[in-house]
Chain A
Amino acid sequence: MSCCAPGTEGALEFEKISHGLPTAEELWLSSRELGNGLRQTDLSVPKVYCGTCITTVEQALKKSPLVTRARVNLSTRRVSFVWKEEANGVRTNPAELAALIAATGYDAHLFTTAEEVNDAYRNELIRAVAISGFAAANIMLLSVSVWSGATDATRDLFHWISGLIAGPVLIFAGRFFYRSAWGALKHGRTNMDVPISLAITLSYAMSLWETIHHGPHAWFDATVSLLFFLLIGRTLEHVMRDRARSAITGLARLSPRGAMVILPDGAREYRPVEDIRPGDRIAIAAGDRVPVDGKVISGLSDIDMSIVNGESQPVAAGAGDMLQAGTLSLTGSMVVEATATARDSFLSEIIGLMEAAEGGRARYRRIADRAAQYYSPAVHLLALLSFLGWGIFGGDWKEALLIAVSVLIITCPCALGLAVPVVQVVAAGRLFQNGIMVKDGSAMERLAEVDSVVFDKTGTLTIGRPRLTNLADTRLDRLALAAGLALHSRHPLSRAIVQVATEAHDFAEVSEKPGEGLEAVTPEGIYRLGNRRFACPQDADSAAEREAASEVVLSLDGRLLQSFLFEDMPRPGAQKTIASLAKSGFSSIVLSGDRAPVVKELAARLGIAEWKAALSPRDKADYCVRAGEAGHKLLMVGDGINDAPALAAAHVSMAPATAADIGRQAADFVFLREGLEAVPLAIEISRRAGRLIRENFALAIGYNVFAVPIAIAGYATPLVASIAMSTSSLIVVVNALRLNRLARLEEKRQEDKAGSGLPANASFA
């Protein structure tokens, strides 16, 4: 295995790694059985974006006789295809089908199977919107006739028809509010849905009573159009969360679904991770992630731990070493004995820490709920007072009841119910356009309060990939030799050499020594590329161990030909991001699991004064908890498994798309682009959204200041109520849309600014 000529197997392996294609076993495990020997597989294809992409991917799959159906969903960036389990007695290899997609140039990978239940809930909401919309339109039609002068029997008829339409709609579309209001009341709390439920129920009951008694005023139109508006808000909010979630689950799954278990009799069997027991022996090939904690029995490899503990440099591991679940074997294959089940592995320890840390976030109350806390008692008190007032001073208790109910209807928080979701949906749309996914609206509210930003180092401030730093004083022929050797390895340093090389020398045979480097025996001598001790054994002692930078040496028969120096590349725009955060008054802190010299060097380069190194996952989470207790609102930006507890503990958190699965789940925001500019942008948009929400509240309350006296005075007719409610809702929506306009103005200003600095570029921008 250690020797691999650039033959078919090696090339295929390389292909697999570069495209991140799932293995055949993983595809079998994740596919759904449809019966009749058919199976369905859903893969995420993140790069499809246009009509041609759809055709290309679908055609590529349909060309195979094994595929019976293939359909690309452009909105969720997924392809779903149905394939035959076996053809002509040969068991299908689904990896070949995935390779068909990869051959067209689109990456395809498995995604974490999210609860598809949400889809059903979304459809329920849309159905409720449609039905209440239908009812609202029809009742409004009838109400307009009443307002324009229908009287006596005609009016009664119209009221009766309206009531018949509104009744079922109230139950069908109103259940979302009733359920939520009941849930809140049961726990002794109150939320926005309590006054809403009360208003729609009372207005319906009163209208029915009026109708029976041939009264002139019925409020059916108010009841149903209220439902209609509020359901639109609720649906928008849900769709926003759905879209973000499907974009996040569409990202490649990093943790393995299963592993190749070596049975006692030597046979190999692919088992799902959950079925691996302590004592099982697992074969880990180069490029595999370790599925559970284990001890190495045989084999040697370089282990990439960056996602587990933030360590940027791979560590060599051999027989007897312990491996943590989630680490990646880079160079060699090993046999590992599982020491824990997946449930007890390192990852579960992290999950435990996360659950313990999540208290702060659960305690956060949404701004709408905080408003409802004051709003609903005030409104109910007001209605009670007008009832008592009119009853005592007016003497007519029936009249008093009518007025009290009309107060409730007119103060029903329609605009208030729309004030928050509409702004947040618009803001989430803006973030989405910039490649930032928001999990829910409360995340934006929390982000707007942040005062300092905590960064993880490896994979967050840096790309997590080393970059050759001494390219300028490297001889090109030496670089070509090194690239020829490096082609045969997936070690990150080798990859970095290949990436910058323009040509590669062709070696007939290259072998890889895990933990040491690569070697090629040629007529000119033995070429070696690797650490100094391996490449130049005689001057290994004289070579000082470098701390901050890592080094790879190319040698011929032990003579040094060229030394290559590397360092981890900061994310594009990292320096500018830190500077702009500092300018807006945020303090930045680096929390890293990596060694102190590396962290210090990077912090100094990016201009971050405060840094902490060699932290355990618990230390990071504790730091966030302590900061929270001290009254600071932290934004944690991190990607690794070791950051997950801190991501959960911080006031609000962000993760890049390259983060570990668990990190992405823990984070409130996930940004898909490589640059770090997403951080200040998300803060900026969230703050602006927060401002608009407060404006909307002011508008909605201002409307009440005008409308309530009219209702208390007894002048609120259904016509007045519906005009007032619709205008206040429209004003709130229009105000929310200003977010788009503000952002566009800002963009224009920035373009102008960039234009004055770079006139040549700007003319084409």
Chain B
Amino acid sequence: MSNLIILIPVALLMGGLGLAAFLWSLKSGQYEDLDGAAWRALDDGDDKPVT
């Protein structure tokens, strides 16, 4: 019983952290362009296409 006093808040806190992180990412516009983000991850920004 006594370990529950610690474990439950810890579980809730960790879940809450995840939730907060998600809400932050939603607010900062990270889900505005999912298709674009997939491509941008591949762009190194140094090798320009030969023109």
Contact = CB atoms under 8 A, between A and B. Distances in A.
Contact of A51 (B34, B43, B48): B43
Interface string A67-95: 00000111110000000000000000000
Interface stretch (A123-131, A197-205, A488-496): A123-131
**Which 10 pairs from chain A and chain B are nearest by CB?**
A51-B39, A74-B36, A74-B35, A73-B33, A134-B19, A75-B35, A75-B33, A130-B22, A51-B42, A138-B15
Contacts of A154: 1, 4
19 contacts: A51-B43, A52-B49, A54-B40, A55-B43, A59-B48, A72-B36, A73-B32, A73-B33, A74-B36, A75-B32, A75-B34, A123-B26, A126-B26, A126-B31, A127-B26, A130-B19, A130-B26, A131-B19, A154-B1
A50 interface: yes
Interface of B: 1, 4, 8, 11-12, 15-16, 18-19, 22-23, 26-27, 31-36, 39-40, 42-43, 48-49
A381 interface: no
A161 interface: yes
A740 to B, nearest CB: 20
B49 A54 contact: no
A157 interface: yes
A281 B42 CA distance: 54
A51 B40 contact: yes
A153 B1 CA distance: 9
Given A130-B23, A137-B15, A161-B8, 7 more contacts: A75-B32, A75-B36, A123-B27, A126-B26, A126-B31, A131-B19, A157-B4
A547 B11 CA distance: 81
Contact of A76 (B15, B33, B43, B48): B33
A141 interface: yes
A548 B40 CA distance: 53
B41 to A, nearest CB: 9
Contacts, number: 56
Interface in A500-557: none
Interface string A426-466: 00000000000000000000000000000000000000000
A283 B51 CA distance: 41
Interface of A: 50-52, 54-56, 59, 72-76, 123, 126-127, 130-131, 134, 137-138, 141, 153-154, 157, 161, 165
Which of B1, B12, B27 gathers the greatest number of chain A CB atoms within 10 Å? B12
A185 B43 CA distance: 54
Contact of B12 (A76, A131, A138, A157): A138
Contact of A134 (B4, B16, B48): B16
Contacts of A141: 11
A126 B22 CA distance: 10
Contact of A74 (B1, B12, B33): B33
B23 A127 contact: yes
Contacts of A73: 32-33, 36
Nearest to B1: A154
B50 to A, nearest CB: 12
Contact of B18 (A51, A75, A134, A157): A134
A134 B36 CA distance: 28
B24 to A, nearest CB: 11
Nearest to A123: B26
Contacts of B12: 138, 161, 165
Contacts of B32: 73, 75
A130 B21 CA distance: 11
A118 to B, nearest CB: 13
A49 to B, nearest CB: 9
A492 to B, nearest CB: 35
A157 B32 CA distance: 41
Contacts of A50: 39
Contacts of B15: 134, 137-138
